[in-house]
Amino acid sequence: MDFLEKYKRDFKEYDQMDKDFIDDDKIWSQLNKWENPKPADVRAVLKKAEQKIRLDPEETAILIQNQDSQTIGDMYTLANKLKREIYGDRIVFFAPLYVSDKCANNCEYCGFRRSNNEISRKTLTMDELEQEVKIMIGEGQKRTVLVYGESPETNIDFMCETIKKVYSVKNEHGEIRRANINCAPLSREELAKFKKVGIGTFQVFQETYHHETYRRAHPADTIKGHYRWRLYSQDRAQDAGIDDVAIGALFGLYDWRFEVMGLLYHTIHLEEKYNGVGPHTISFPRVEPAIATPYADRPEYRVSDEDFKKLVAVLRLSVPYTGMILTAREKPEVRREVIPLGISQIDGGTRIGVGGYSKTAGNQLPDKEQFQLGDVRSLDDIVRENCSMGSIPSFCTACYRAGRTGENFMGYAKSSFVHNFCMPNAIFTFKEYLLDYASEDTKAVGENLIKEYVLRFKGDKVYNVINGYLKRLEEGERDLHI
């Protein structure tokens, strides 16, 4: 059966809709209404945001359109404050693992598009996948997101086998404890198979929420050409029992202001339909250059660094309890400025070529990479810099394995859970990294940071537990968590 034909039966559910939850005209009317908000309007929105309440679209439009430098500074300050209050002084680390670059789609901005003859195509065998995972573990990784092109070769059964293989690989001190998935939209039946093999977060990016831009960028003769099939990917995942879903947009395809509103409306849709459970994370990568991909060299709606900082802060203020991911697409200097504005997760030591961990550092396999990385530093270098910024690097996966996801997670997130559980668990996983993988320079900085954070718990009931677990880790135990 033709790959596109396989899903046409599923498309009918969405073809019969009168409309979807993205109303282009309404979004622009809201943005235009607040084209030049007064500082008092901005401050009124910030007062609500201080209460850690998700903002409404018009309130978000006010922040997006704000041009007043003083209140933009206030936005940045509050975004930092909310992130620390909700997620603590920690940054969660992960690394992507590209399994296949074979793709049936022909997206004009993507190096993996089927018409790009300068890409050297590859799908990892199970043995090759095992070798990639061993190298990742040897560098200290505990969390990954598996990435696949959309191809008959990487069907649901193949992807399930790769998940099982990743979880099976272990060495003396480590293993991958959390495997998230970034793949094409799937049917409910296929997603139910993911649920059975222990998938982490199911991640699908809409790329652009603007209907006309989506149609132009994604040819109609491809499976990705169906806007609503992609838009409702997270709904089908929730229906299949996967309550940890992630959304994102690729910034540079259309006006960044519209895309931020699209991400908010997507969040609202999921919260309203699934008992308050919105996306676990939001991603906002920018279009980056890719081999033989002219559009990526000159994106029509290129987002400046200043606008990028602003959109990150706006998202943190608008959706306070949602994780926010900043990827290694961005250069180190950009990451240093943006992380304090609300980021909860970053990747480090990233390679995006299929087989890249076994062969090289980032950006040295251009004929195998979907785009060009901005930050190609080692995991150890990025961890050490993170320490210098005053945050605990975390490799924790305790919540996922304890079933604290979806509706349960939101209940925990809105309590003192982060202080009593997440911060101690971050300290434990960071201690593991220092003992098993860190350079001497990183160990020195990291051990001092751990001492500083442990002292903050003095007088709390978990203080003795933290010290006891740290001692057990030093004696050789691993994977300790509260």
Question: Which residues pair with residue 123 across a beta bridge?
Answer: 100
CA distance 38 to 71: 10
Domain count, the chain: 3
Q: Which of 127, 137, 248, 119 lies closest to 182 in space, CA to CA?
A: 248
| 225-280: pLDDT as tens digits | 999 999 999 999 999 999 999 999 999 999 999 999 999 999 999 999 999 999 99
Q: Which of 73-77, 361-365, 430-434 has the lowest mean pLDDT?
A: 361-365
| 97-133: pLDDT as tens digits | 999 999 999 999 999 999 999 998 999 999 999 999 9
pLDDT at 437 exceeding the cut of 50: yes
User: Do 278 and 137 share a domain, yes or no?
Assistant: yes
User: Do 148 and 241 share a domain, yes or no?
Assistant: yes
User: Do 71 and 120 share a domain, yes or no?
Assistant: no
Give pLDDT, residue 404: 57
Q: Among 384, 403, 422, which residue terminates a domain? A: 403
Instruction: Tell me the pLDDT band of 44, cut-offs 50, 70 and 90.
Output: very high
User: Do 155 and 303 share a domain, yes or no?
Assistant: yes
Instruction: Tell me the pLDDT band of 369, cut-offs 50, 70 and 90.
Output: confident
What DSSP designation does 152 have?
Answer: G
User: Do 388 and 436 share a domain, yes or no?
Assistant: no
User: Do 299 and 367 share a domain, yes or no?
Assistant: yes
Task: Indicate whether 59 belongs to any domain.
Answer: yes
Instruction: Tell me the pLDDT band of 399, cut-offs 50, 70 and 90.
Output: confident
Give pLDDT, residue 35: 96
Instruction: Tell me the pLDDT band of 417, cut-offs 50, 70 and 90.
Output: low
CA distance 255 to 269: 21
Give pLDDT, residue 409: 56
Q: Model pTM greater than 0.85?
A: yes
Instruction: Tell me the pLDDT band of 370, cut-offs 50, 70 and 90.
Output: confident
Rounded to the nearest 10 degrees, what angle do helices 440-455 and 379-388 cross at? 40
User: Do 115 and 202 share a domain, yes or no?
Assistant: yes
Give pLDDT, residue 27: 98
Instruction: Tell me the pLDDT band of 1, cut-offs 50, 70 and 90.
Output: very low
Give pLDDT, residue 365: 67
Q: Is residue 105 a contact partner of residue 150, using CB atoms and an 8 Å limit?
A: yes
* Helix and strand totals (H; E) in the chain: 23, 9
Q: What value does the mean pLDDT take over residues 426-444?
A: 98
Task: Indicate whether 342 belongs to any domain.
Answer: yes
User: Do 209 and 356 share a domain, yes or no?
Assistant: yes
Instruction: Determine phi and psi for 247, rounding to 5 degrees.
Output: -125, 170
CA distance 353 to 376: 13
**Amino acid letter, 37:** P
What is the DSSP track for 218-248?
S-TTSGGG-HHHHHTHHHHHHHTT---EEEE
Q: Which long-range contacts (CB under 8 A, 24 or more apart) does 436-444 make?
A: 436/140, 436/173, 436/174, 437/138, 437/139, 437/140, 437/174, 437/379, 437/380, 438/140, 438/380, 438/383, 439/380, 439/384, 441/384, 442/380, 442/383, 442/384, 442/387
Give pLDDT, residue 378: 95
Q: Among 381, 403, 425, which residue terminates a domain? A: 403
Instruction: Tell me the pLDDT band of 362, cut-offs 50, 70 and 90.
Output: low
Task: Indicate whether 481 belongs to any domain.
Answer: no
Q: Is residue 112 a contact partner of residue 163, using CB atoms and an 8 Å limit?
A: no
How is residue 309 written in tokens?
């900082």
Give the rounded percent of residues in the chain with a pLDDT score beyond 90: 84
Please state, in angstroms and as integers, the Cα–Cα distance from residue 355 to each residue in 129, 221, 349, following that order: 8, 30, 14
Q: Is residue 370 a contact partner of residue 101, using CB atoms and an 8 Å limit?
A: yes
User: Do 145 and 166 share a domain, yes or no?
Assistant: yes
pLDDT at 282 exceeding the cut of 60: yes
Task: Indicate whether 159 belongs to any domain.
Answer: yes
Q: Which of 273, 186, 204 lies closest to 245 in space, CA to CA?
A: 204
User: Do 387 and 441 share a domain, yes or no?
Assistant: no
CA distance 366 to 369: 5
Give pLDDT, residue 379: 97
Task: Indicate whether 482 belongs to any domain.
Answer: no
| 106-116: pLDDT as tens digits | 999 999 999 99
Question: Which residues pair with residue 246 across a beta bridge?
Answer: 203, 281
Domain range for 68: 24-80
Task: Indicate whether 480 belongs to any domain.
Answer: no
Q: What value does the mean pLDDT take over residues 65-89?
A: 96
CA distance 163 to 159: 6
Q: What's the mean per-residue pLDDT of the chain?
A: 93
Segments in 140-244 forming alpha helices (H)? 156-168, 188-196, 211-217, 227-231, 233-239
CA distance 36 to 28: 14
Q: Among 80, 101, 121, which residue terminates a domain? A: 80
Q: What value does the mean pLDDT take over residues 25-37?
A: 97
Task: Indicate whether 435 belongs to any domain.
Answer: yes
Output the domain CATH number for residue 246: 3.20.20.70
Instruction: Tell me the pLDDT band of 371, cut-offs 50, 70 and 90.
Output: confident
User: Do 356 and 428 share a domain, yes or no?
Assistant: no
User: Do 156 and 70 share a domain, yes or no?
Assistant: no
pLDDT at 391 exceeding the cut of 90: yes
pLDDT at 393 exceeding the cut of 50: yes
